[in-house]
Structure 1
Amino acid sequence: MAWMRPLPWREPDTVLALWGGAPWCAFLDSGGALDARSRWRIFCHNPRHTLQVFADRVEVDGVRQARGTPEQILDILRKIQAGFRVGACQADVPFCGGWIGFASYAFGRALQGVPSRHVEGDAPVFSAAFYDHAYIWDRKNRQVVLAGLAHGGLTPQASEQVQALWSALPERAEPVPQVPPLHLRASQTQAEYCRAVSAAQRYIAQGDIFQVNITCQHVADLPADVCASGLYRRLRQVAPAPFGAFLSCGAGFSLLSCSPERFLQVDRHGHMTTRPIKGTAPRGQSGAEDRLLAQALAADDKERAENLMIVDLMRHDIGRVARIGSVRVPELWAVERFAHVHHLVSEVQGHLRQGCDVSDLLAATLPPGSVTGAPKHRAMEIIDELEATPRGAYCGTVFCLGVDGRMDSSVIIRSFVAHGGQLRMGTGGGITILSDPQKEYEEMCLKLAPFAAFAEGA
């Protein structure tokens, strides 16, 4: 079983300020309005095991291993976790130990067997750390607890030391230091992006695909003295999101995510949920305008068709590992409000069949359907042809795999990667036969706008 210890309240910003600069920190940062999606925040550091996958090598606990297939990488997660498995964490704690990390779009592309003309570079394509304890914030009850594994985890003496280090943290951190403006440069001009959209529509008209997600990368030079955790401290203030995350993955790589989209959630009984987002509209300047924009999004034929195709794709993907007859769609075309946009969101549910686990589910579903297209394999081939640069981590997933079999994960969108002296962000949207290239470009700019403003005023 797992254990819990109450801790004195410390703000997440304080923990990030003092501990976030170390390698292998993981902060799952549910922000924005408090609801069922955003009740918990989780911070982990000092992992027991690490796993990183690069284009040319695999490293387990920093030791180079033979290259493996994506399925073999996921099996490493399974095998290490098996040595720590417990019956259940405390019912009211979402995580007490397990893996936290990310799988990039490139990792998912390899799972799908789609080759690429792009060179990925030296950033990791998969990175995860196994933690035997975690600091958990309960936003609803304004409480913090230390949760850990009773067998194979922290000893009682080590647990006391960890609690003492937490209690020694100040109640408030110093303000986030000012950062010079970071000027984002697009990998495609407006005209080039619109041509890519038009080319995608020709593939749709020819019957190759029904829909495809076309994206663009934006890059800024990152001064050597700018700390990624400091950037995230500021970012989470201006763009809170229900699936925010900060991952410091070693190798000079950090992921700063403000994702609004849940990818997959699995409970300890094997019940699966995914909530794909397809369809975007701006927020209004007044309550009345906001309601009108939401109503227009809910009634938009193009946006509804786009969302429905992804729902069908996710039904197929989940169905590969689901119990026969368990896949259903309890919610279709719901409009959800976020800090800067409205989104059209649906929900697909299913139940893992006997003999399958969350690693099997990731192998069956990566990369997320909402950022690829339908049919997925052909859409990904067209993405590789039409996009100017590799996606990297963008359009992959951040995941949290608990020792009790639970999983939660998000789609890596509205996210920055800090690596190699650069800050990189991707944005894009789903293309259908009804798309207008200019409007698709404007939607991409709408999604980018708050993050471009953040960079310019960082």
Structure 2
Amino acid sequence: MPRILLIDSYDSFTYNLASLCKRAIPSSFVHIIKNDALSAKSLFPLLRHFDAVIIGPGPGSPDIQDDIGVVRDIWHVADDLLIPVFGVCLGLQSLAIEHGAEVRRLNVVKHGQVYRIDHIDTDIFQDVGTVQAVRYHSLHVDLAGAPDIVPLAWSDDGEENGQVVMGLKHRKKPFWAVQYHPESVCTHGGGDDVLRNFWRLATEWSSAHGRATLPWNPSIEAAIGPDWPSIRPEAIAHVDEPWKPVVTQTVQLPNPSVPRICEMLGVEDDSTDFVMLDSAAAPGRFSIIGCLTPTSPRITYAVGDQAVQVRRGSDVTSKPLGALDIWAWLTAFMRTRKAHGGLPDVPFWGGLVGYLSYEIGSQTLSPLPPRPGSQNQHPDVNLVFVERSIVLDLQASVAHVQTILPDDDDWLEETVRKLQTFSSPATDRSARPPSKPSEVNGAAPAPVVTLPARDSYIDKIIAAKEWLFSGDSYELCVTAPTRVLAPKVATAVSRGTSSSWELYKILRSRNPAPHSGYVRLHPSTLLSSSPERFLSYSRPPDGVCQLRPIKGTVRKAPGITRAVAEEMLAGSTKEVAENLMIVDLIRHDLHSVVGEDVHVKQFCKVEEYETVWQLVSVIEGRPDKSLSEKSRADLGWEVLRASLPPGSMTGAPKKRSVEILRQLEGADRGIYSGVVGYADVGGGGDWAVIIRSCFKYDENPTAPPSAEQSNGVKNGHSRHSSATNGTYPANGGGMPPSTFYENSTLNGAVLTNSPLTDEWTLGAGGAITALSDPVAEWEEMITKVESVLRAFVDLGSS
């Protein structure tokens, strides 16, 4: 059976190309190595064990050694080691310049755009017919000085770039390449058929030149690695314990109010942990409330630590990672806590609930030391193991009361009794209105908002575009934090209850979202109104993984009908290109773990949400049948590891984009653009991207304020009130023009940081492409910030 070596230049489409190879070359084994994994001296003898080499795409330039690695040497292999090679994008550029061509920048870059490819209908394009192909490149090759390179295909860019080489071959050696991306979901006519032609030409050349592939042996696999797909050995848990039974009682609950049930369960006690994942708007259906006990296991971990902290009440245990990474540790933790017997239609029976930071994902891609002077106080992993829960089915108006604790009948009966006697309000998405914020001398202070500096943010967008033009990225999601100093609610302070819960109810009312949530796991409190599901995976044996990236949003307003929204989103070259890049990236992430069975179920469809129209794609994958049953059972954490950080919040290629963004943004993102959700004891999971959300840090949430500290309002300026530093009372004075600021009112009071205030962080940003206008991107970022800031205005005006 054919054995293919695919050399990966740290791209985010590599596994899509591997899948294309498996389709085009039947029964083939595909082995994938990084372009810097082996030296030429170590790699070349191993080529005798392969039938062909694929040179994948990647960021950067073919004339930079760090970008191209061993690929440069492949084109100069000695005649006795010569092997058929097929290059894609960076692979084409490298083949060309190593034989005399020059690499140049395009006048107008082409990222995520579909073009007709004209070809000569021979060689790799024989009988291919019409080709509509996706292009991801800002560089191209000029073949004037390359007599041994024969062009096979072109794209006519007219006045923008003229005629651009899209396919070529070496005149004497078995080398072929294309500039476009044959593996993209939107390439039609130049994918499988071109790879099949390459394989036909490769086998003909090998036969004609007497090239015989040497037998495979374990020593070769030790150097190259196993064929794709495969699961990391450390990611497969080796300990099994008897599965626990899930005990469920179902209660009919007309018009269930999620907030009021949370209040019944004690959410207003700010000294305790509390977790609730909330379908506050369509198309959400289930809301999950964790009924924590004083000894519910809390798991925290920070990037770079060698141990995981597990807390049960006041007892804290440090669990060394040893040879495992955090993902393998979490897999093993859940493996010993499997459960069965819950209702199959209920997505959560119990399990881990909480958040994972942006950095926990970015460190997997590009391990880096902590920033000098980094002040990220929030854990990167902050989860609680939920053994008792209430899952509200908002469509069926029922509550499922569940426990995986033994001998827990008394709690079940008591909780069911409370729900049965519970008086529901007329609507299912409201609770009693929040009380007024703290007041001193009759003045209700306005929240103080510290926006990112406008000029600095625009400069970052301009710098990001230069990275796009240089070929290092196709898209960069540039973000920045906004800080809000807000008053606590007076009655909450007097009662010792949760002011953050009052804020969540306002946010839920003002910006309802299908992936809302209130997660209070001290020292962190997260209020989510996220519209974007990141990853869900169903329980084994099915194990379907689904991702639903959103790229493209239009807020509802008079005159913005579905037809108008579709024209603005699905009809926009920029919006579709952004979405396409993320779709191709997500396909790669899924392929890397589950294997070939990955499909785009929906591409760039405009969906209606409560307050916006959004451009949504749906990608699904199922685990390869060649994977062991145990591997498939533990697949959720491995898919999550491979998919973080969310591609919609980074760009593509993801690794290089994450490195660029770390440099551009200058600070850790922390909780923002991580994920919030759950891992179920039955093997499923559901995680949402943390956007349209805010979070805060409480060093000691139960400490009462002293008399001196209680005066959190004064007439005058504080470190949070200098307009020259981009900090403003939320009142319209000195702010950029926007509906939010114009509609706010000044009450004459300025806040300082005290126990009567909370300091919140919320992030926002946007996908920067070559078509982005920096000023428009700034305004879009501010619009996203305002979707959360409105809750603080309501809090201040209550």
Query: Does TM-score exceed 0.5, indicating one fold?
Result: yes
- Deviation digits for residues 251-281 of structure 1 (CA, Å, limit 9, x no counterpart): 2x11100111011111111111101111223
Q: Does 1:207 align with 2:471?
A: yes
Determine if contact 2:506/2:794 at 8 Å carries over to the other structure: no
Determine helix, strand or coil for the equivalent of 1:157.
Answer: helix
- Deviation digits for residues 419-455 of structure 1 (CA, Å, limit 9, x no counterpart): 2441110011111111111111121122222222222
Task: Report what 2:481 is aligned to.
Answer: 217
Q: Does 1:385 align with 2:648?
A: no
Distance 2:334 2:424 in 1: 34
Worse overlay, 13-22 or 262-271: 13-22
- Deviation digits for residues 171-191 of structure 1 (CA, Å, limit 9, x no counterpart): 4664321335423211x2222
Determine helix, strand or coil for the equivalent of 1:457.
Answer: helix
Task: Report what 2:279 is aligned to.
Answer: 30
Distance 2:322 2:525 in 1: 24
Determine helix, strand or coil for the equivalent of 1:127.
Answer: strand
Distance 1:209 1:174 in 2: 48
Task: Report what 2:462 is aligned to.
Answer: 198
Distance 1:154 1:296 in 2: 57
Distance 2:639 2:775 in 1: 37
Residue 297 of structure 1: CA displacement? 1.2
Residue 128 of structure 1: CA displacement? 0.7
Task: Report what 1:6 is aligned to.
Answer: 250
Task: Report what 1:346 is aligned to.
Answer: 617
Worse overlay, 41-50 or 197-206: 41-50
- Deviation digits for residues 45-64 of structure 1 (CA, Å, limit 9, x no counterpart): 31532101235663202514
Task: Report what 2:530 is aligned to.
Answer: 259
Match of 2:636 among 345, 352, 358: 358
Match of 2:517 among 215, 235, 245: 245
Determine if contact 1:284/1:293 at 8 Å carries over to the other structure: no
**Aligned-CA RMSD value:** 2.3
Q: Does 1:432 align with 2:769?
A: yes
Task: Report what 2:693 is aligned to.
Answer: 415
Match of 1:284 among 530, 552, 557: 557
Task: Report what 2:782 is aligned to.
Answer: 445
Task: Report what 2:366 is aligned to.
Answer: 113
Match of 2:400 among 134, 145, 154: 145
Determine helix, strand or coil for the equivalent of 1:298.
Answer: coil
Residue 154 of structure 1: CA displacement? 5.3
Change (3 A) 1:376 1:88: farther
Task: Report what 2:22 is aligned to.
Answer: none
Distance 1:227 1:183 in 2: 17
Change (3 A) 1:169 1:111: farther
The TM-score normalised by the length of structure 1 is 0.91
- Which one-letter code corresponds to 1:202 in the other structure? E
Task: Report what 2:378 is aligned to.
Answer: 123
Q: Does 1:189 align with 2:437?
A: no
Change (3 A) 1:217 1:411: same
Q: Does 1:298 align with 2:570?
A: yes
Change (3 A) 1:264 1:379: same
Residue 300 of structure 1: CA displacement? 0.7
Residue 21 of structure 1: CA displacement? 3.3
Change (3 A) 1:70 1:397: farther
Determine if contact 1:282/1:446 at 8 Å carries over to the other structure: no
Residue 223 of structure 1: CA displacement? 3.8
Residue 222 of structure 1: CA displacement? 3.8
Aligned residues: 449
Change (3 A) 1:154 1:11: farther
- Which one-letter code corresponds to 1:92 in the other structure? D
Determine if contact 1:228/1:418 at 8 Å carries over to the other structure: no
Residue 120 of structure 1: CA displacement? 4.2
Match of 2:435 among 152, 177, 180: 177
Determine if contact 1:397/1:410 at 8 Å carries over to the other structure: yes
- Deviation digits for residues 54-75 of structure 1 (CA, Å, limit 9, x no counterpart): 3566320251415648963333
Worse overlay, 411-420 or 224-233: 224-233
Q: Does 1:61 align with 2:311?
A: yes
Distance 2:322 2:669 in 1: 20
Determine if contact 2:606/2:613 at 8 Å carries over to the other structure: yes
Structure 2, unmatched stretches of 5+, are 1-244, 426-430, 438-444, 699-757
Change (3 A) 1:70 1:284: farther
Task: Report what 2:352 is aligned to.
Answer: 99
- Which one-letter code corresponds to 1:61 in the other structure? R
Determine if contact 2:248/2:342 at 8 Å carries over to the other structure: no
Task: Report what 1:394 is aligned to.
Answer: 672
Change (3 A) 1:69 1:301: farther
State which structure, 1 or 2, has the greater radius of gyration over its C-alpha atoms: 2
Task: Report what 1:370 is aligned to.
Answer: 648
Determine if contact 1:317/1:364 at 8 Å carries over to the other structure: yes
- Which one-letter code corresponds to 1:144 in the other structure? A
Task: Report what 1:51 is aligned to.
Answer: 299
Determine helix, strand or coil for the equivalent of 2:655.
Answer: helix
Change (3 A) 1:77 1:124: same
Determine if contact 1:333/1:346 at 8 Å carries over to the other structure: yes
Match of 1:160 among 413, 436, 444: 413
Q: Does 1:327 align with 2:598?
A: yes
Residue 129 of structure 1: CA displacement? 0.9
Q: Does 1:231 align with 2:480?
A: no
Determine if contact 1:245/1:256 at 8 Å carries over to the other structure: yes
Change (3 A) 1:326 1:241: same
- Deviation digits for residues 216-244 of structure 1 (CA, Å, limit 9, x no counterpart): 11111244646212211121111110111
Determine helix, strand or coil for the equivalent of 1:286.
Answer: coil
Change (3 A) 1:428 1:97: same
Distance 1:313 1:396 in 2: 17
Task: Report what 2:12 is aligned to.
Answer: none
Determine helix, strand or coil for the equivalent of 1:184.
Answer: strand
Match of 2:684 among 398, 406, 411: 406
Determine if contact 1:16/1:233 at 8 Å carries over to the other structure: no
Distance 1:233 1:282 in 2: 21
Determine if contact 2:274/2:521 at 8 Å carries over to the other structure: yes
Q: Does 1:77 align with 2:330?
A: yes
Distance 1:174 1:441 in 2: 36
Determine helix, strand or coil for the equivalent of 1:123.
Answer: coil
Distance 2:527 2:546 in 1: 24
Residue 389 of structure 1: CA displacement? 3.1
Greater length-normalized contact order (CA 8 Å, ≥ 6 residues apart) = 1
The TM-score normalised by the length of structure 2 is 0.54
Determine helix, strand or coil for the equivalent of 1:59.
Answer: strand
Distance 1:114 1:439 in 2: 33
Distance 2:592 2:660 in 1: 24
Change (3 A) 1:71 1:416: farther
Distance 1:409 1:69 in 2: 27
